[in-house]
């Protein structure tokens, strides 16, 4: 069995032509140099400039929402998305336990309480059916709000995360939110270019958050964006992320406590350049998944996680599911990394982290299973692929 994993790592190194293949690398060429150079020459490199406005406009067009508000990173985007959706101090927020810590941190910054629920093996994301059963167990409607009977706190929102770019099953989740007066806020940090039943993720709820970290489908170096179809909420998000400053020719008047979450024009210039290539990135990621699927099939007790039938995934992070009776996760990780192909496990479930152990939670059966059976493997676009070369 060890030989199969070493052979797999060697195939990955051959594909990329490298002695050691990292999990992610950004893809840049002359377009990025051109746009960033133009931004530098303009002198407008900070929070004001033509590229910020252009990036927001083109991002909204690509994702099919009415508005996009560019900010400093994905965590800030999610915090503000929850805030404009009505999350207040002492509210509880449903979210998967199997997600990056930023999902819970964003709620905590608003002094809200993460409430952890289980995920689905079909999507790796929040399971709407299990959530419905759990709500019936612990929830009661009071004055139009869903209240946790055990804590007497209002449960204000649901925050599904599209794990590794694979969309959760959104239709039943939308219906559930309508029935229980819950705000749907999508953590779409990993799902730029992913579609649920033909509609881009991030447009199904009150608001959503994207990330443009260096390891994402496309990058602005550091950055994120809030998506919404509500013009009023978009204006408010823009206002409070730019220090809540009231427009004036010279006066500094701020009408509430705001946030300095502005995306610099320099980062937005990089983002505009990357957006011109997004279709090529997505096509190359999909081609890589198809190639990996054939390679993984050759290893006993494994499978590559493929998009759900109702979704079109961006395949941001290629994911191998192990049969725990055949493979020990940490043994596989050691073999791949030692052989020159970077691999990592999924995140530690948030309910296991010291800062979040006290948070309310449902039974997390699938979460517990997946944390021991998921590994991620190198997911960079492949050089030499037709779509990659067009970038």
Domains of the chain, each with CATH number or no CATH: 2-25+278-389 (3.90.1150.10), 30-275 (3.40.640.10)
Model pLDDT, residue 117: 98
**At residue 318, what are phi and psi to the nearest 5 degrees?**
-65, 135
Instruction: List the alpha helices (DSSP H) in the chain.
Output: 2-16, 30-42, 50-63, 74-84, 102-109, 128-138, 170-180, 231-241, 265-275, 278-296, 329-338, 365-371, 386-389
Return the SS3 of 187.
strand
Taking alpha carbons only, the member of 24, 162, 116 closest to residue 348 is 116
Distances in whole angstroms, Cα of residue 6 to Cα of each of 122, 336, 337, 341: 29, 7, 10, 9
Residue 188 to residue 225: CA distance in whole angstroms:
10
Residue 110 to residue 127: CA distance in whole angstroms:
25
| 181-226 residue pLDDT tens | 999 999 999 999 999 999 999 999 999 999 999 999 999 999 999 9
What does the chain come to in residues? 391
pLDDT at 23 over 50: yes
Paired sense of beta strands 311-312 and 195-196, if any: antiparallel
pLDDT mean over 86-105: 98
Structure token digits, residue 54: 């252009």
Residue 90 to residue 113: CA distance in whole angstroms:
6
- Please give the mean pLDDT across all residues of the chain: 95
269, 262 Cβ separation under 8 angstroms? no
Q: Percentage of the chain with pLDDT > 90?
A: 95
Residue showing tokens 């941001």: 316
pLDDT at 384 over 80: no
Model pLDDT, residue 391: 44
Q: Percentage of the chain with pLDDT > 70?
A: 97
- Interacting residues of 237 by C-beta distance below 8 A, sequence separation 6+: 69, 80, 81, 84, 207, 226, 228
pLDDT at 388 over 80: no
| 263-291 residue pLDDT tens | 999 999 999 999 999 999 999 999 999 99
| 367-383 residue pLDDT tens | 999 999 999 999 998 76
| 231-253 residue pLDDT tens | 999 999 999 999 999 999 999 99
pLDDT at 137 over 60: yes
Residue 60 to residue 274: CA distance in whole angstroms:
15
pLDDT at 1 over 80: no
Model pLDDT, residue 238: 98
Model pLDDT, residue 15: 93
Return the SS3 of 170.
helix
pLDDT mean over 9-33: 94
- Interacting residues of 331 by C-beta distance below 8 A, sequence separation 6+: none
Model pLDDT, residue 46: 83
pLDDT mean over 30-48: 91
pTM given for the model: 0.95
| 302-328 residue pLDDT tens | 999 999 999 999 999 999 999 999 999
Model pLDDT, residue 386: 46
Residue showing tokens 């170096």: 221
pLDDT at 30 over 60: yes
Model pLDDT, residue 314: 98
47 band by pLDDT with thresholds 50, 70 and 90:
confident
Model pLDDT, residue 44: 80
């Amino acid at each position: 069995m060890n030989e199969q994993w070493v052979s797999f790592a060697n195939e990955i190194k051959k594909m990329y032509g490298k002695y050691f293949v990292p999990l992610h690398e950004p893809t840049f060429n002359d377009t990025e140099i051109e746009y960033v150079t133009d931004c530098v020459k303009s002198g407008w490199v900070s929070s004001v400039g033509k590229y910020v406005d252009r990036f927001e406009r083109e991002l909204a067009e690509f994702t099919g929402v009415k508005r996009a508000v560019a900010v400093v990173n994905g965590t800030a985007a999610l915090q503000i998305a929850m805030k404009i959706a009505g999350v207040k101090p002492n509210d509880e927020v449903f979210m998967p336990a199997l997600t990056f810590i930023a999902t819970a941190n964003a709620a905590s910054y608003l002094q809200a309480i993460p409430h952890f629920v289980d995920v689905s093996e079909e999507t790796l994301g929040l399971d709407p059916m299990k959530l419905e059963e759990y709500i019936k167990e612990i929830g009661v409607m009071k004055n139009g709000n869903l209240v946790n009977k055990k804590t007497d706190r209002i449960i204000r929102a649901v925050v599904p995360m599209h794990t590794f770019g694979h969309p959760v099953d959104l239709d039943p989740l939308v219906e559930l939110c309508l029935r229980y007066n819950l705000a749907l806020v999508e953590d779409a940090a990993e799902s730029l270019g992913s579609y649920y039943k033909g509609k881009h993720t991030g447009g199904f709820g009150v608001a959503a958050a994207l990330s443009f970290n260096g390891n994402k489908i496309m990058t602005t170096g550091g950055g994120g964006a809030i998506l919404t179809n509500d013009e009023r909420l978009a204006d408010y998000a823009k206002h409070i992320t730019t220090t809540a400053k009231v427009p004036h020719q010279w006066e500094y008047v701020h009408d509430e406590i705001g946030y300095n979450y502005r995306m610099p024009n320099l980062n937005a210039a990089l983002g505009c350049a990357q957006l011109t290539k997004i279709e090529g990135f997505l096509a190359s990621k999909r081609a890589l998944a198809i190639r990996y699927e054939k390679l993984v099939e050759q290893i006993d007790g494994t499978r590559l996680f493929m998009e759900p039938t109702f979704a079109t995934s961006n395949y941001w992070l290629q994911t191998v599911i192990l049969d725990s009776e055949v493979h020990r996760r940490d043994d596989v990780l050691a073999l791949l990394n030692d052989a020159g192909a970077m691999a990592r496990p999924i995140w530690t479930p948030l309910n296991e982290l010291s800062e979040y152990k006290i948070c309310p939670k449902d039974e997390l059966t699938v979460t517990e299973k997946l944390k021991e059976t998921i590994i991620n493997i190198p997911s960079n676009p492949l050089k030499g692929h037709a779509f990659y070369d067009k970038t």
